[in-house]
Structure formats: structure tokens, C-alpha cells
Amino acid sequence: MGESPSTMYKKQKTNRNRQIKQGYSVFIAAVWLVINSSFIHPYYISITELKYTSANQTIEISCRMFADNTEEALKKVYNQAIDLIHPKNKVLADSLLAEYIQKRLRIKVDTRTCNPHYIGYETEAGTVWSYFEVVNIKQLKKIQLENTLLYDFLPAQTNIVHVTVDEKRQSKRLNNPESTFLFAF
């Protein structure tokens, strides 16, 4: 005939225990994922924007990078820990950040190599915004950009570049090791 009531009960109990264990495993995995994803970000991206207007003959440059990645890169390059969000020595943080970016962001306008002047940096939601400018650019027909920000630290780094010249915008994504691009206007 059929199974005895005690055998059916044991099977139901075993199935229920298995479901509870599976549910518990899924719960633990979900909690682990949420906790770990709040401490790390799985992508490595910087955004660099260059804006030129012929009226003021200046290129304004901003670079946005994750603060933790930038701090690790500075530590690796300069052998000292720097907290960019809450710096103990703002002058030192400014100096190291400016030097790091200026060595890895090279700009050539038409035939002229430019040395961007560092303005400063600020932080926002775990990111660092760094500001530079290049003055006395009479005209701009093409701009060659070499961007290797964080390449020496993160093999999976992607640098996105936006260049705007008198309201005309061009963008390029550079995946490590790709670093140079020519924008023509």
C-alpha cells in the first residue's frame, strides 16, 4: 500500500530541514555579498573632463577618481599613506596628488605641449575631484591626450575622457593599457 505515517513524517521533516539549510545558506551568502559590496567597488573608472572656450582661452581640467584607489596608488608610488578625505597634512596631500596626476596626464594642444597648473582638489561621496587649468591657448584645433591615471596600480582601470571645445563635445574610453587619443575639432 502506502508508506506508514511515521515514514512520511520523517521524509517531510528531512525535506523541511534541507529547505531550512538551503534557505540559511542563501541568506548567509546574500548578507556576505551586501556587506562586502559596501566596502569595495567592482569597477575601476576615472573621469577626466577638459573644457575649452575660445572666449577665455583657458582649458579647465577636472579628474574624478575613487578616493581609495587614489590613496593606494599614492601610497605605492610615494611610500607613504595619504588620507585624501580627512588629510592630516593638506599641503602634502595636495602636493603628492598634483605630482601624481601631472606625471600621468599629458596634454598637447596642436603642436604645443602643455603643463597644467594645479588648482586643488575636493572630495565627494568617496571620490576625489582634482582641478587643473592651462592658460593662454589662443586657438585649439586638436588636442592629444595621454591619460595613464591609476594604470600603474590597477590593471583593470578604465579612464573616460570628455573634451569640450566651444560647446562641441567628444568622448573616449581608454582601457588599460590604451592611453593616448587625439581629439580634432
DSSP string, 8-33: HHHHHHHHHHHHHHHHHHHHHHHHHH
Same domain, 5 and 61: no
How many whole angstroms separate alpha carbon 41 and alpha carbon 67? Answer: 11
Same domain, 78 and 23: no
User: 81 falls in which pLDDT band (50, 70, 90)?
Assistant: very high
Position 161 scores a pLDDT of 96
Same domain, 26 and 87: no
Model confidence pLDDT, tens digit, residues 12-38: 555 555 555 554 555 555 555 555 444
Task: Count the domains in the chain.
Answer: 2
Same domain, 33 and 57: no
Asked if the model's pLDDT at residue 143 lies above 80, the reply is yes
Asked if the model's pLDDT at residue 58 lies above 60, the reply is yes
By residue range, what is the domain housing residue 177?
Answer: 45-184
Cα dihedral sign, 122-144-147-178: positive
Q: Are 115 and 132 in contact (CB under 8 A)?
A: no
Q: Are 60 and 165 in contact (CB under 8 A)?
A: no
How many whole angstroms separate alpha carbon 108 and alpha carbon 182? Answer: 9
Same domain, 24 and 89: no
Same domain, 62 and 111: yes
Same domain, 11 and 56: no
75: three-class secondary structure by DSSP: helix
